[in-house]
Structure 1
């Protein structure tokens, strides 16, 4: 008698296997999107605010942050280079972490050259002084990152020379300055990277107080790379009309459409890790713009649910 053919393996796949396959396919698709597509989808985030004195002409501010530039990132460089014509800013604010490689300045020169002659303000992030190092991304969920023991050096002095002498920008690391922007007096103060504890807030505030005739300022701007609460509180108390920061990358990987980042790599509330919000301290509330930035570490080349960006803020007169 001939045995009946075996039906082993011919039945429907188990629900567990189907589910595992779907999860694997979803994960693979997300990785392809985040690594191969979204990190190249540069965006312009626009806001309008009434902050200027009555009768003043509108002021357009271009906020750049966290380019983390490597020399081979030509598409990012060309996209940034087109911003000057697209936005036509009156003022550029750069909140640091420009360099992502020891030769990153090559790309920064190509990207920022069209901004030459436009008034600018900048502060440093850690990757303007030391190169990036490989990190375990899961450790960001346990709190702000610690600092690697060894990292390649960065030619900060040459970068600063390019910013100050070729572009005409002003370094605000732990100091303050006055700039004429479109006929308006802008007083600005800032700090070096608070994430590395390189900030000296008392020095910055003392420099602000030394500016002549502070009451004549049409606008006062506070600038920091990392938006730690202690910095935002002190800057608010010191009389800033608006605050600018970067560092967070907007979380870099987010749940799509969620109002909160998964991580911020500092102690800012997660729903304020990207975009324009309000910061309140001691019964004073002012606008805070945190840029999600233009780049990523070369060791974590991904963006998901968080496109790379620049911010454009149009300031208009009150009333």
Structure 2
């Protein structure tokens, strides 16, 4: 190759090299920003008129705090402090929809984070990342919405469950619960994680107690086939997590994937599912192998349940 050809080749390569360098720099910047977003917790505040007039006996609202997907790793002190401070909201009821763990050593930190909230009425269901350790995901399977096989490496979920129950929270997994908080009579039911077919709706099927004021459906992943059963039985509000709100979203918090059967438009927040309201939490953590959030900050939600207009 003569000198003129070498110079021409070098000049043609420079723009490509510059573009690749700029892309790498932008990618690195995006990763740094996405990681920083993990600690920018938000409280979402939603009002939902579900109760019959007179139910609250003069109170303005029933406060339900929805927490999901802590994915706790030892040493996440910012998360522990932020979650424990939610007790200042004085929730009437706390609902935890699972995936509390992302490390076998994380149970003590989960209990520290939830500490004061465990003194309040509460109930929970678990997700597969309570039962089994996370693993490095295949990005192609994730983006194509393909279900991933769990690691089946056991996590100490039994110890965590025992601690929740000892403090007074109720396990709603494949159980129908009836209890009263203040003047509000609650009927609730839950299933095990439907994303990996751990659910058995036949164990809880049927309408909620007719004398209840508020009926709640709990499931970790908002899989439409199970939501359909709850809606058909007449539950008023379902509570789930799992999606992380999309986690890696487009501007405006628009989900690219949901990692389950729910559509992208309902990957986070409050929506209708037939006659039932459904709330999907953004969650408070991520898998330890994907420590990034884009346009989708970690959050908990305070649902202010009010009386319907007469």
What's the TM-score, normalizing by structure 2? 0.91
For 1:254, which of 230, 249, 252 is the aligned residue? 249
The CA distance in 2 between the partners of 1:10 and 1:144, in whole Å, is: 43
Contact 1:172 1:189 in 2 (8 A): yes
1:30 aligns with 2:62: no
Give unmatched runs, 5+ long, in structure 2.
Answer: 1-6
The CA distance in 2 between the partners of 1:187 and 1:39, in whole Å, is: 34
Secondary structure in 2 matching 1:316: strand
Contact 1:132 1:151 in 2 (8 A): no
For 2:65, which of 50, 62, 67 is the aligned residue? 62
1:318 aligns with 2:308: yes
Secondary structure in 2 matching 1:267: coil
For 1:120, which of 119, 122, 125 is the aligned residue? 122
The CA distance in 1 between the partners of 2:119 and 2:82, in whole Å, is: 19
Contact 1:222 1:242 in 2 (8 A): yes
4+ residue runs over 4 A deviation: 7-18
Question: 1:13: how far off?
Answer: 9.3
Secondary structure in 1 matching 2:215: strand
Contact 1:95 1:223 in 2 (8 A): yes
1:277 aligns with 2:271: yes
Deviations 1:213-248 (A, max 9, x none): x22100101110011110111000011011111011
Question: 1:77: how far off?
Answer: 0.9
The CA distance in 2 between the partners of 1:309 and 1:269, in whole Å, is: 20
The CA distance in 2 between the partners of 1:294 and 1:70, in whole Å, is: 12
Give unmatched runs, 5+ long, in structure 1.
Answer: 1-6
Secondary structure in 1 matching 2:99: coil
Cα 1:142–1:308 shift into 2, 3 Å: same
The CA distance in 2 between the partners of 1:15 and 1:132, in whole Å, is: 41
Aligned residues: 300
Contact 1:132 1:297 in 2 (8 A): yes
The CA distance in 1 between the partners of 2:124 and 2:287, in whole Å, is: 20
What's the TM-score, normalizing by structure 1? 0.88
1:48-197 → structure 2 map (5 Å cutoff): 48-55=47-54, 56=56, 57=59, 58-85=61-88, 87-148=89-150, 150-166=151-167, 168-197=168-197
